[in-house]
A and B are shown apart, each in its own frame.
Chain A
């Protein structure tokens, strides 16, 4: 049934009343991470148990999008109290139903324990991982069923487009977005409002109907912000695009999403279907003159297709290669029409900006964006926190919080008795920041200044076992493999960088290499055709900037301080050895010999430096030097 603007509040009230009739709601995380650990099974099993016990009218099981705290999944949150159960298995469900729901007793062994005092935390609010976060883009994560449009509407969903269509002129919408200061969350940090304004001008100049495009081609290793937003709250993205379309006068929108995100795609398709059914997409949206529809285009997984011009080519069925953007895609974009492309997170922010106002948004974050979106970084940013960190997961924090707050307070620091070495931000072509940079604010300009970048929000934490030359090599290799090869600096330059780094890691580096690497990386950054190549030198440049010593050690001393580069290290067993023989038994090439209760010896000729002995030794007697 097609609805009008007035119907939105009625639907919301009705749905909220309906949900309030339940004694409690069990929010089962069904984001991709928890699903792979059994999220769907838990949801279905829980429903079955409630049904068997005749409790299904009193309790509602909701499969939500990613909760964010991926490290401890599968997760169930019992609302409205916010009781947080972690690492739930199928076998725990009886206990949750019997103890918690029926008897009112919290299941202690499923609670999260804080790092600082090791005390059990009952509710989400008490857990450090959540307490420092501020949610805008992820406002509905874990609290709505992403596959049910009425859940979204019940949480003020589509209120923004309702307001825009009834009370605002397109130019006012553009102005509101400019005033909010929101900068593109996909990496570039270009003010979204300015982009929209240029598109409006281009439409006037060229008289061609424009397009809006959502870039959901998230390809950075270790990044899953966009996927999680779509999985948790697909309608937020659709609503954002609708507002954008109204603002620039588009009647067609496309979402370019990678095929590797099946769950996100299913939820997006369902959301579009439901929105069309309700008259929120299609002709005469909400009973107004505004017509707009959204199509999904599936990407085949090339990293470079996240670059806007390559994305648009790929969408048009051509080879996904970037073009020079001396003429921007807001002027000549998809099908040569003016095109506004924003990333998932940007679109998801838009409804909140229109609902709560530009001033509210601009007041969050760092710097001052009044009258100049370049003046700071307003709003929040979603990061996927991964690597050597305790609390792996998805976090949203106001711009300007320090790296330390993210890594130590929210992330819970580096696991084991290792120490923090670096954090890599901004995806493969971002940079690695060392411990002394932990107190810097995280926003667009500070990160760029420090030789890294915001990127789309991947954050990879590395401990002291990580070799920074190897890290540079890893990311360079990734980029060399993903380079489309169109322009010479990126194609030939990255290959040469890779070879040079390989040589250094193999102990074949020479004195002039570091200078050569710096020159070459700068050359690639300055002369490449697109931003893939234009930032591809960053991993090398930032690791040289902050970890030059490690390069020198590899080149001059032929040693890898982190003990990672195989050709530069030797394994030996120290006097701490208790002769337990475990290492000898586990060694895949039988390189370790020694009698029971006597010190063991590694034959360095046979040793393949696989590291198994290090892991299995109960007394840390295996030394890597």
Chain B
């Protein structure tokens, strides 16, 4: 039975007992209170009424007496009234009593009392009536005899009634007392029995519960919480609360056991998982950095096979291209080459091919006897299980792994295989991708190299073509120009001529310098000689004066000679400057007449100046130089003519070849010049005859100077002569002075003329100068020394030179001379420096390709880079090495 039930039953029964007790007590109490009410209300009232009656009766008798005794009518009347009132009261009390009295005995007494009272009233009434009639004695009689007797009787009856009632009261008291006793007894019985019952229930319950809880505690205390796998159970099959506890405990124990079990399993799973991951990581990390598929395959089988306790493994991989359907053996383990000959396997071929085709693993648990043998040195046996697993990446089979083992694989090993194959798939895929990329790169490298080789071949072919072209051109040239062949034949002579020319140039330079140095002391000498010859102090002997005069004369001669040498060397070294202005022909004529008419007259010669029609009023040339030439020619004519005439003819010459020129022909009838000497006479220090000098005097430089000057003025001198008949020296001059180009043309003309006539005297143009000759250079420099030096050097190589003193002028000069071939640009200049000038020049599209050579005094790298940045083609440092400059210019003027 459940404790709840027991406790409810126990306590509720006690409650019931209490209720019963209460009911009994309350009924007894009601009884008691009824008795008391009876005693109090009924008996007491009855006694009280009886007493009332007694009292009223007594009063009546008193009153009666009074009335009888009373004389006054008024008092009598008053007494009578009270008497009647008392009678009424007696009657009322008797009525009340009659109503409440229920006991037989009492009723009899009351009835008797009633009768007695009635008779009392009657007698009283008679007494009264007698009293009223005045018969007092009779009334007294009556009262004393009759009414008193009745009254006494009445009072006794009332006393009886009182006694009856008191007896009844006594009875009721006794009864109540009995009932009280009864209540006490009952209560005691109930309380005692209730207590006993309660104690019994409590004792029983406590004992029972204590025992069973102790059992449970002992079981629970047996539980060792470390081992949760085998927990004790509480053996108890009662259905009460402790049974519930036991059951709950058992359930708890079971779930704890389950939990412990699960935890164990979970831990095992964790260990397995961690092993799996570690191994997978180990294998994949050993694959890292491998970029060769074969190496990867070998590494993989070496790693995987022992891990799954397999004894034989072959890894096949897809060959090369991603769309290939063939596998080849790439890695082996425990592999017997003799037994397995297969090298490549097509998809679908055999089990390996099938596995690859379906991308599905194939397992053979019963390997036929001679399927494969796994062997060692000691023997061989067939494996128990054979597994063929595809390696794929995103559903694309990349390889197949074949494994054989003597045992079978644990689930963990199987899981490991699946896992590792998946990872290998990724690794293999990335290797394939890497291989593809690397193949593509390789291909592109090959293509790049091929392109490079093609471009080189093309370059080569271009060069070959060009050289062929050049050869053709050369051949064409050779065939075309006879002159060149002739030139070749005369090679030796030309070289000599060049040497001579060079020697003469050196000589000229030397002389130019020397003459200058000589003139200064000579001038002092002459001045002193003159002072001596004048003999102002008159202290010299005539002989001494003659000596001085001789010194002066010879000195003057020497000075003339030096001046001539100076002129010639100036011309030859290119230092002669010419000043172009308008020159009136008329002035020239009058000059000639003025100077040479007197001389001619003195020598007895005819002197004539003629001018043909068409000769312009004036020409553009250097007046001083023209005068010098004419003077020279005329003085020669006068000098070498003993008799006859000297004549100047001025005329015009017009040819198709060149522009119109003015012609000054100086004719004489002198000694003449033999044809072979006609060229020599123009060379410095040469006269027609070595002895001429002695005969006729003069330096022998006059003609050289004249010819060079004529050249400078853009003209030339021609000689026609016959020995003993006379000579004609003809000066051709252009009407207008056209810079150097005319000189050049003239030279070209001379050259052609010379070649045609086979004269050896032409100036040989070396091949070396070919690159520079005739090219026009612009020199931009603010240092006149440089301009002078550069101009001299360049002109020496038959180049035309124009110059400017700063960048702005340089650009202006370029604009004026479109035919400038090369610019030599100084960097440090006022107004506009070289960098700026070069930049300005380069900004003009016409001058993008114009070679500009920067001349810089600074050898700093920065300076050089700045030149290049500005757009200079090349640079050369100052002071300029002429040889280097010429080489450099040849490079930049090439082509």
A and B form one complex: no
